Amino acid sequence: MKSVQVSKTIHAAPEAVFDVFTDLRNAGDRITDIISIEVLGDAPIGVGTKWRETRKVFGKEHTEEMEIMDFNRPEGYKVEAESSGSHYRTEFSFEPEGDGTKVTMTFGAVPLTLFAKIVSFFMGPMMRKSLAQFMERDMSDLKTYIEAGKTTTAQNA
């Protein structure tokens, strides 16, 4: 499936934006579609952090286990997961833009099984449109939280 990319400008410094986006332990309180999130382990968030996230997708609950593969504060981070016969990769980049931060979220999936390849071929365009809507909603939720001034810089410890 071709990647899907969404960008949004948030009126806060890149460090503050990065910290909220990577504050996995509190993400369920900030992102509407997340039902629950469980960080696996007590270490600070960074490379190797794994978590289980349950969210509502098309009216049904889906749980995925994800892992941070790259973590470079405040420039960006990468998350990967394998599920339903596909390998997923989500990249976040944070660039200074005026008095704020331009956040770009890029999601891509590589089908690994025959079934996933067939589904991707036939459903790809519709799936990309829906994914863009989900990504936009997540980023809007975090933008609202950040711009309401509720951020701190020690959330990932």
> Does residue 152 lie in a domain region?
no
155 domain-assigned: no
Q: Is 19 part of any domain? A: yes
Residue 78 within a domain: yes
Residue 156 lies in a domain: no
pTM, entire model = 0.87
pLDDT band at 156 (very low <50, low <70, confident <90, very high): very low
Buried b (16+ CB within 10 A) or exposed e, 4-27: bebebebebbbebbbbbbbbbeeb
- Whether 116 is in a domain gets the answer yes
How many domains does the chain fold into?
Answer: 1
**Is residue 154 situated within a structural domain?**
no
List the domain range (segments joined by +) for residue 96: 4-147
Q: What is the pLDDT of residues 77-124, one digit of tens each?
A: 999 999 888 899 999 999 999 999 999 999 998 888 888 888 777 777
CATH number, position 52: 3.30.530.20
The reply to whether 96 falls in a domain is yes
Cross-sheet strand order for the sheet of 100-111: 4-10, 100-111, 86-97, 76-83, 60-72, 50-57, 34-40
Structure confidence by residue, pLDDT tens digits, 133-153: 999 999 999 999 999 986 554
Backbone Cα Rg of the chain? 15
pLDDT at residue number 155: 44
